[in-house]
Amino acid sequence: QVQLVESGGGLVQAGGSLRLSCAASGRSVSSNAMGWFRQSPGKEREFVAVISGSGGTTRYADSVKGRFTISRDNAKNTVYLQMNSLKPEDTAIYYCAAQRIPYYTLSSRDTDFHSWGQGTQVAVSS
């Protein structure tokens, strides 16, 4: 089983940047597409970004496209989410998860993912 631990969250002003990390342990996740999701109080968990196992293909939610960048370092078994031009509406707990394998397309549905981390809080002040 894989364990995922997110880090890098914090409080930042609007327009600022944060870089989230998702460290995997237990086994390599190089065969898994890896995704980031977020959840705000009173809202359902929503898709943010996903990256293929090789890192060559990515997919983003429209709300973060052009501002967020997902990447991975398979040698470190770690996935990243670089968040720029942050907005107050980006405030949420951010989670990473591994897409079930085998996969044929990158998914944005949380039901296609497993091994959720505990999340890291991101707060953006206006």
Confidence category of residue 47, pLDDT binned at 50, 70, 90: very high
| SS3 sequence of 29-59 | CCCCCEEEEEECCCCCCEEEEEECCCCCCEE
Q: What is the pLDDT of residues 51-74, one digit of tens each?
A: 999 999 999 999 999 999 999 999
Confidence category of residue 102, pLDDT binned at 50, 70, 90: confident
Query: What is the spatial distance between Cα 59 and Cα 103, in angstroms, rounded to a whole number?
Result: 14
In the predicted structure, residue 103 carries a pLDDT above the cut 90: no
pLDDT (average), residues 93-121: 94
Phi, psi of 110 (to 5 degrees): -65, -20
